[in-house]
C-alpha cells in the first residue's frame, strides 16, 4: 500500500461509475456497464483495478450474499440493510443502531470498523405472522 495513486483510464472510469451509480456492483457488473465507454476494457483489468482501488482505500468491498463481492465508493454514507431470508424483501436499517455498535467495538478493540454496508438476515414481520415456526 503506497501513498501516490497511479490514475489510469480504467481506474478513473471505475471510480466514476461507482460514484455516479451509488450502487454496489460486482466486478462483472462494472465491466458490463463500462463496455460502451471503454470497449477495449478487459475483464481482468477490472478485477485488477478493483483490487488496487480497495487496497488504496478508494472504494470498499462487501458481501451481500450475491455470490460475488460487491464494490462501492467510500463516499457513500454508511448504510445497512435487513434482508428477509424468506421473502427476500429488503429493508433499510436505521444506521443509528449500527453506529452505536461500531463505536462500542472501536472502543473495546481499538480497531477501526471498515464495514460500511452491513447486511443482516431476518425473517420479516410479514413472514413471521404467516409462519408459526419463527
Contact flag: residue 10 with DNA (CB under 7 A): yes
**Binding-site partner at residue 90 among DNA, a copy of itself, none, CB < 5 to 8 Å by type:** none
Nearer to DNA, 20 or 42 (CB): 42
Q: Of 59-78, which residues contact DNA (CB under 7 A)?
A: 67-69
Closer to a copy of itself by CB, 42 or 57: give it.
57
Residue 115: phi and psi, rounded to 5, are: -60, 115
Q: Report the alpha-carbon distance of residue 30 to residue 102 in Å, rounded.
A: 29
Residue 57 sits in the site that holds DNA (CB under 7 A): no
Q: Kindly determine how many residues on this chain lie close enough to bind a copy of itself according to the rule CB under 8 A.
A: 38
Select from 2-10, 17-25, 95-103, 119-127 the region that touches DNA (CB under 7 A). 2-10
CB of 109 to a copy of itself, least distance (A): 7
What's the CA gap between 101 and 96, in Å, rounded?
A: 9
| Other Cβ atoms within 10 Å of 46 Cβ, number | 23
Tell me how far apart the alpha carbons of residues 123 and 84 are, in angstroms, rounded to a whole number: 5
- Find the helix or strand (DSSP H, E) in which 12 lies: helix 9-21
Amino acid at each position: 500500500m503506497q501513498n501516490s495513486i497511479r490514475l489510469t483510464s480504467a481506474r478513473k472510469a471505475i471510480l466514476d461509475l461507482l460514484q455516479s451509480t451509488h450502487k454496489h456492483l460486482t466486478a462483472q457488473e462494472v465491466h458490463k456497464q463500462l463496455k460502451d465507454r471503454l470497449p477495449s476494457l478487459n475483464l481482468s483489468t477490472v478485477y485488477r483495478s478493483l483490487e488496487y482501488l480497495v487496497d488504496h482505500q478508494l472504494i470498499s468491498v462487501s458481501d451481500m450474499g450475491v455470490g460475488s463481492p460487491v464494490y462501492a465508493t467510500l463516499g457513500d454514507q454508511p448504510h445497512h440493510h435487513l434482508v428477509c431470508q424468506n421473502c427476500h424483501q429488503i429493508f433499510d436499517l436505521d444506521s443509528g443502531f449500527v453506529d452505536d455498535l461500531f463505536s462500542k467495538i472501536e472502543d473495546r478493540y481499538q480497531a477501526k470498523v471498515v464495514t460500511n454496508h452491513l447486511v443482516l438476515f431476518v425473517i420479516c414481520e410479514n413472514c413471521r405472522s404467516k409462519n408459526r415456526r419463527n
